[in-house]
Amino acid sequence: MRFSLPDSLYIHNRLVEVTVRHGAQEPEQHFRLTDKFKQSLIEDAPTRPIPALPPTSISPVQAVPNLADYLRALNQRVLVFSDYRERLMELANLLIEMAGSQPDGVIAAIMLCPYRHYAAHHAINCALLAARVGQSYGLPSADTEQLVCAALTMNVSSASLQDSMASQQAEPSTAQRQTLHAHPLLSSALLREAGVDDVLWHTIVLLHHEKKNGRGYPFSLAGEDVEPLAHLLHALDLVTAKMMPRTYRARMKPKQALGELYAGKMGEIDPELVSHLVKVIGIYPPGSFVELADGNRAIVVNITANAATPRVAPQTRPAERIDTAQECFRIVKSLNIQVEERYLPLFYRLWSPT
């Protein structure tokens, strides 16, 4: 499929369109940066060393803040590292391994870990959730890998803007909106300049803000023209953003976020996908806080076959596990508690690798 865009968009965002032909196959439409813009980005890239990847032998709650720092540093150097794609793939596969071996732990990390830098942390959250959903759907491993890579890089061109907007109380300005509407194109162009040629990866990045009703951007596609994995990432992007706090609003409770997603308040999302997200995340996800019928407060540790009755650890007896399917321990309400980073070590042992 060929995407149609106004010439002004290319000029304003310093993009060029390239048509690539492979024999008798349909030509591919690529987006690239102008040489001058590319050189300016290379010159502006940080020169200090990047942090090391954390090991997979630690709790996801301990790992996620460091994973976000690593991704931020890596994506700031997208045009500098000749092995950028390999580094990004290494990170993606680490997240996939973590999601497979510690499924409750990665959801807990999404719920518990505060962010230092919004854009990178949001991307890690989306990528972890993408890995979990890909595994629970039984997607081919290659598709899950491409989905996770797209989650990590969908906003590579707009990270600094999204970081500043996370603490902005005012509505986005016209200039900010224009930049946001072009960021799928710019992110794809940056990845292309970094040597990423994976077709599905680029397709997901380009289309992750398209909507089934045709009101998305940048191409205003509709219905079956929207790549299913791009639609999946769009849903994950929405729900994780709602569950992350901003300076001007508290985080939305997962039950409310999923409910709004299902009701179409965040746009037209496949209802079967939302139902599947409920099974993966749970109505009361690991890492969330609840009040029980006996008056005790507890933290959710494991989801069960019933999304409404997880196993929890009482606040006063963290080594104990309670089945909330029992009437005397049923959940009466969820609590919107945010944990400061200095208190995260208290929760590591709840989701330690086996």
pLDDT band, residue 290 (cuts 50/70/90): very high
| pLDDT > 60? residue 1 | no
Compute the distance between CA of residue 155 and CA of residue 14 in angstroms, rounded to an integer.
17
Question: For 230, phi and psi rounded to 5 degrees?
Answer: -70, -40
Compute the distance between CA of residue 208 and CA of residue 25 in angstroms, rounded to an integer.
25
Distance (Å) of CA 273 to CA 84, 137, 209, 218, 344 = 32, 10, 16, 23, 31
Q: What is the pLDDT of residue 176?
A: 84
Q: What is the domain partition of the chain in residue ranges?
A: 7-44, 60-281, 293-350
| pLDDT > 90? residue 3 | no
At 21 the three-state DSSP class reads coil
Instruction: Please choose, from the candidates 57, 60, 54, 53, the residue with its C-alpha nearest in 3D space to the C-alpha of residue 107.
Output: 60
With a CB cutoff of 8 Å and minimum separation 6, the contacts of 248 are 167, 168, 169
One DSSP character per residue, 273-305 reads: HHHHHHHHH-SS-TT-EEEETTS-EEEEEE--S
Mean pLDDT value of segment 309-325: 94
| pLDDT > 70? residue 311 | yes
What is the H or E stretch that residue 17 is in?
A: strand 15-20
Mean pLDDT value of segment 248-271: 74
Compute the distance between CA of residue 347 and CA of residue 354 in angstroms, rounded to an integer.
15
Q: What is the mean pLDDT of the chain?
A: 90
The residue with tokens 């409920």 is: 278
pLDDT band, residue 68 (cuts 50/70/90): very high
Q: 336: how many CB neighbours lie within 10 A of its CB? A: 13
| pLDDT > 70? residue 246 | no
The CATH T-level fold of domain 60-281 is Hypothetical protein af1432 (1.10.3210)
44 DSSP assignment: H
Whether cis (ω within 30° of 0) applies to the bond prior to 218 is yes
pLDDT in tens, 131-166: 999 999 999 999 999 999 999 999 999 999 898 888
pLDDT band, residue 248 (cuts 50/70/90): low
Compute the distance between CA of residue 46 and CA of residue 35 in angstroms, rounded to an integer.
19
Distance (Å) of CA 90 to CA 74, 79, 137, 225 = 12, 17, 22, 31
pLDDT in tens, 85-112: 999 999 999 999 999 999 999 999 999 9
Share of the chain above pLDDT 70, in %: 94
Q: Which amino acid is at 284?
A: Y
The predicted model scores a pTM of: 0.93
Q: What is the pLDDT of residue 266?
A: 65
One DSSP character per residue, 87-142 reads: HHHHHHHHHHHHHHH-HHHHHHHHHHPPPSSHHHHHHHHHHHHHHHHHHHHT--HH
The residue with tokens 């007896």 is: 317
Q: Which spans in the chain are helix H? A: 7-12, 35-44, 60-75, 84-101, 103-112, 118-137, 141-153, 159-165, 174-193, 199-207, 228-242, 254-262, 271-281
Instruction: Please choose, from the candidates 128, 241, 184, 262, the residue with its C-alpha nearest in 3D space to the C-alpha of residue 3.
Output: 184
Compute the distance between CA of residue 156 and CA of residue 190 in angstroms, rounded to an integer.
8
Q: What is the pLDDT of residue 10?
A: 66
Q: What is the pLDDT of residue 171?
A: 80
pLDDT band, residue 17 (cuts 50/70/90): confident
pLDDT band, residue 327 (cuts 50/70/90): very high
CA-only gyration radius of the chain, Å:
21
| pLDDT > 80? residue 353 | no
Instruction: Compute the Cα dihedral for 214, 216, 221, 226 and give only its sign.
Output: negative
Q: Name the strands in the sheet holding 297-302, side by side, starting at the edge strand that comes first in the sequence.
A: 322-323, 311-314, 297-302, 289-292, 331-335
| pLDDT > 70? residue 4 | no
Mean pLDDT value of segment 217-233: 94
| pLDDT > 90? residue 300 | yes
Compute the distance between CA of residue 332 and CA of residue 340 in angstroms, rounded to an integer.
25
Question: For 322, phi and psi rounded to 5 degrees?
Answer: -115, 135
Mean pLDDT value of segment 24-44: 88
